[in-house]
Amino acid sequence: MLTYITRRILYSIPVLVVSSFLSFVFVSEAGDPLANLRQNPRTTQGILTQLEHVYHLDQPVVLRYWYWVKDVFNFHHPLGVSLATSQPIWPDIHRAFGHTLQVILLAEICAIILGVAVGIFSAVRQYSVFDYTFTSISFLGYAMPTFWLALLLQILFVDIYLKWHVRIFYTSGLNNHGNATWSFDRLQHIALPVATLSIVSFALYSRYMRASMLDVINSDYVRTARAKGLPERLVVMRHVVRNALIPIVTVAALNFGALLGGAIVTETVFTLDGMGYYFIQKLGQEDVYAVMGYLIVTSVLIVVFNLLADLCYGFLDPRIRYD
Amino acid sequence: MTEPRQVEKIAGTVAPYEQNYDTGIVTAPAGLLDSTVDAGLELQIRSQWSYARQRFLRHRLAMIGLVGLIIIFGCGAFASYVAPYTFDQIDLTNVLHGPTLKAHHLFGTDEIGRDYLSRVIYGIRTSEQVGLVVAAVSTIFGLILGAIAGYYGGWIDNILMRFTDLVLTLPALAILLTVAALIETSHSNFAQLINQFGDQWTITIILAGFFWTGIARIVRGVFLSLREKEYVEAAKASGAGDMRIIFRHVLPNTLGPVIVNATLAVAAAIITEAFLSFLGFGIKPPGASLGSLIAGGQQFPQKWWLTVLPGLVLVTIVLCVNFVGDGLRDALDPQQRRVRA
C-alpha cells in the first residue's frame, strides 16, 4: 500500500512539472505581466527595462520557469507576487479557496445524499413513475449548462425579491454583515451557488447510483439473502447499497475536478469571491502569475483527489489489491 | 462490421453462400434463389449496417432527437431565410420588448431593439458550425493518431498516452479558458495564424485541439485489442500490407464507438463554446452564438427572455444530440449497451 502511494505521488510529480511548464510557456508568452504599466504614459523605457531585469522577464523562458518554481516554494510568499498589482498571490488564493471549498463541499454533500437516495429508489422501483421522472430530470441535468442554470436561479430570486419583497436568498456576494464563515447570512448567500452545483452533480450521482445498484441487485448473493428470508428492506440497505456505493467514491473524486470547473462560472454569475471568480478576473487582467497560481493549485488538488479516490476504492473493496 | 454478411434465415437453405471478399457481394447458390422465388419468398441480403440502421430507426427517443436536430439545425443553416430580421438590425424605438406576436418579435427585442428571434437563429448557426466542425476535425485527427498509436505502438503511442493522461489529470476547463483568453494577445506566429480567421474559427481550432484526445484513446484501445486477433494475422499471412489491414480490417470495427463519440462531441463542443463565450473569451459582439447571447442577457436579469430563450434552445440542442447519441450507441454498439433509462 505504502509503495503504491509513494509510486503514485512520484508519478504525479513529472505530470505536474510538465503540465505547469507547458502552461507557463504558453501563459508567459501570450500574456504580458507589465501590460498595465506599458499603457501608462508616464512609464519610461528605463523603468520598464529595469523591471524586466528585476523580475527576470528578459531571461529565456526556461530560466523564468525555474524562477517561478522557486517562487512557488518560497516560504514567505508562496506562489510569488503578482506583477500587475504588486500583491502577494497566496493570501488572495488562500481566502478565495476557503470560500470555494465551502461551496463545493456543501454542493458535493447535497448532491451525493440526494443522488444516492434517488438512485437507490429508482433502482428498487425500476421503470416506475418515480424512476422515469428522475431519469428525465437527470437527462435534463446532463444537457443543462451550469452557467445557464445559475442565471435561471438568479433571475428567479431577483424576480421574487422585486415582486414580493421577500428576501429568501441573496443573488450575489458572500456576506452582508460581518465575515463569518458559518452564519445564516452566509448560508443565504451561498445557497444558490450550492444549489446550482449540486443540481448539476445530482444528475450524475443518481445515474451512477442507479446503474451500480442494478448491477449488484441481480447478483447471486443478493438472491441468497432473499432466499434465507431477510426482509427486502434489509436486503437492499445492508447487502445491495453497501456494495453499490463503492463506484460512487470514484465518481465523487472525479467530479471534484468538474466542480472546480463549474465553480468558475457559478462564482462569476453570483459574484462570489472564490477561486473561479479570482481566476476569471486575473485572466481578464492578464495577470500571468496569478493565473499560474490558480492553475497549479487546482492541478495539485485534482491529482490529490484522484489519488484519494483510488485509495478509498481499495479500502472499500478488498478485492482490489495495490502492489 | 466487416464480418461476412448475414442472410436472413430461410427455411430449407442447404447450399453454401459465396462471398466475393473484394466486393463484399454475397451470391446465393443458384438453386436456392430459384426455390425461394418459386415459394414466393423474398431473399433479402442484409449487412450489419442495415441491421444497425433498423435498430436506430426503431429507437423512439433517437428519432425524436433527430427530428428536433434537423429542425433546429435547419433553422440555423438557413438563418438568412428563416429569420424575420437580420441579426444586427437596430430599432431604437423598440428596445427591450418582451416576446410578442406583434411585428413578429416572437422572442422580444434586446437592449438596442434588435429582434431577438433572429439573433437566436443566427446564434444557432454559429454554435452549430462550431459544434459540427469541432466534432469532424477532432474525429478525423483522433482517428488517424489513435490508429497509428494503437497499431504501431512505440513512441507515438507513448507520447499520445502521456498527453491524454495529462489532459485527464488537469483542470481542463481552466486551461481551455486560459488558452482562449490569452491567444488573442499573443504575438507568436501560431497565434497570429489562428487569430486571422476571426474569433469563431479561433474558438473552433482551440476546441478541436482539446477534443481529439478522447476519440484517439478509444480508437487506440480497439486497435490494440484487434491487432492481435487471428483474422488480422490471417490477413498478414496472406500478404496484406499495413495500410490494407488498418483501413479494411481494423478501422471499420472502430467506427461504431467513433460515430457515437463524434455525435456526443457535437453537444460537448456547443456547450463548451457557450461556456467560453459566456465568460467573454469566445465569440464576441456583434457576432452571436447562443453562449454570447446568454452572456448579453445577463446584464438584464429582469428581462428574462434574454437569458431564458437562448438557453432553452441550447438545452434542446444538447438533449437532442444526446438522444441521437444514445440511439446510435444502442444501434451500432450493442455489446457496449449500458444499463440505461
- Do A151 and B294 count as a contact with CB atoms less than 8 A apart? yes
Distance CA A28, CA A24 (A): 6
Q: Residue A44: left if φ>0, alpha if ψ -120 to 50, beta else—which one?
A: beta
Of B82 and A244, more confident: A244
Q: Which long-range contacts (CB under 8 A, 24 or more apart) does B313-316 make?
A: B313/B72, B313/B120, B313/B123, B313/B124, B314/A145, B314/A148, B314/B127, B314/B270, B314/B271, B314/B274, B314/B290, B315/A140, B315/A143, B315/A144, B315/A145, B315/A148, B316/B68, B316/B72
pLDDT at B339: 38
Quick check: helix, strand or coil at residue B121?
helix
* Residues from chain A contacting residue B314 (CB–CB below 8 Å): 145, 148
Q: Which three cell numbers stand for residue A70?
A: 522557486
- Compute the nearest-CA separation of B101 from chain A (Å): 24
Facing residue for B185 by CB, picked from A32, A268, A303 = A32
Residue entry with cell 452572456: B295
pLDDT at B191: 73
Facing residue for B315 by CB, picked from A143, A211, A284 = A143
β-pairing, B26-27 vs B18-19, is antiparallel
Facing residue for B178 by CB, picked from A171, A257, A283 = A283
pLDDT at B317: 93
* Residues from chain A contacting residue B324 (CB–CB below 8 Å): none
pLDDT tens for A97-156 read 888 999 999 999 999 999 999 999 999 888 889 989 988 888 888 888 888 999 898 888
Which of B162, B170, B322, B337 should one mutate to test binding to chain A, selecting the residue with the greatest count of A CBs within 10 A?
B170
* Residues from chain A contacting residue B315 (CB–CB below 8 Å): 140, 143-145, 148
Task: State the DSSP code for B185.
Answer: T
pLDDT at B12: 47
pLDDT tens for B63-75 read 999 999 999 999 8
- In this prediction the pTM is 0.83
A196 close to B (CB below 8 A)? no
Name the nearest CA neighbour of B86 among B111, B121, B112, B110: B121
pLDDT at B255: 85
A291 close to B (CB below 8 A)? yes
Cβ(B241)–Cβ(B191) below 8 Å? no
Facing residue for B178 by CB, picked from A23, A162, A269 = A23
* Alpha helices, DSSP H, located in chain B: 30-39, 48-58, 60-77, 79-82, 116-152, 154-168, 172-182, 189-195, 199-226, 230-237, 242-244, 251-278, 290-297, 305-332
Residues 235-254 of A with CB under 8 A from B: none
pLDDT at B110: 75
Asked whether the bond before B286 is cis by omega within 30 degrees of 0, the reply is: yes
- Do A159 and B302 count as a contact with CB atoms less than 8 A apart? yes
pLDDT tens for A269-298 read 888 888 889 998 888 887 888 888 888 888
Q: Which helix (H) or strand (E) holds B26?
A: strand B26-27
pLDDT at A4: 80
| Predicted-complex ipTM score | 0.83
B271 close to A (CB below 8 A)? yes
Residues 14-53 of A with CB under 8 A from B: 15, 18-19, 23, 26-27, 29-32, 35
- Spans of chain B, pLDDT less than 50: 1-14, 337-341
- Among chain B residues, CA nearest to A261: B173
pLDDT tens for A32-85 read 767 667 777 777 778 778 877 777 777 788 888 888 888 888 777 777 777 777
Quick check: helix, strand or coil at residue B216?
helix
CA-CA-CA-CA torsion for A270, A274, A279, A280, nearest 10 degrees? 10
Residues 150-179 of B with CB under 8 A from A: 165-166, 169-175, 177-179
Name the nearest CA neighbour of B116 among B83, B73, B76: B83
Query: What values do phi and psi take at A144, rounded to 5?
Result: -85, 120
- Do B279 and A159 count as a contact with CB atoms less than 8 A apart? no
* Residues from chain B contacting residue A266 (CB–CB below 8 Å): none
